[in-house]
Structure 1
Amino acid sequence: MIPCRTRIWRPPWPLDVAAALEPHRRGRGDPAYRVTPDGAIWRASFTPDGPGTLRVLARPALGEVEAQAWGPGAGRLLEELPDLLGARDDPDSLRPVHPVVRRWQALRPGLRIGRSGRVFEALVPAVLEQKVPLAESRRAWRYLLRRFGEPAPGAPDMRVPPPPARWARIPSWEWHRAGVEAVRARTIVNAARVASRLEEDASERRLRSLPGIGAWTAAEIRQRAVGDADAVSVGDYHLPALVGWALAGRRVDDAGMLELLAPYAGHRHRVTRLVKLCGTRPPRRGPRMPVRDYRAF
Structure 2
Amino acid sequence: MRRLGSVQQKIACVFQTEVKEEQSRKRDGQPFQVVAMESLNPVALEADVDGALATEKLDGTCCYVAVYKGQPHLWARLDRKTNKQADRRFKKYRHAHRSSKGFTWNVEEDFKTVPETWIAAHGVKHVNGQPAPDEHGHIPGWVPVEKDNKQYCWHSSVVDHQQGAALVLRPAVDDEDLLEVAAVPLAELLEETLELIGTSVNGNPYGLGSKKQPLHCLVSHGSVRIRNPPPVDVQQLQAWFQESPEGRVEGIVWHCSDGTLLKVHCHHLGLRWPDGSPSLSGRPLVVRVASTVDEYISGDGTKDLFTLLSRLNGRRFKRLQDVQLDS
- Could you state the TM-score of these two structures normalised by the residue count of structure 2? 0.30
More helix per residue: 1
Structure number with higher relative contact order (C-alpha < 8 Å, ≥ 6 residues apart) = 2
- Could you state the TM-score of these two structures normalised by the residue count of structure 1? 0.32
More strand per residue: 2
Higher-Rg member (1/2): 2
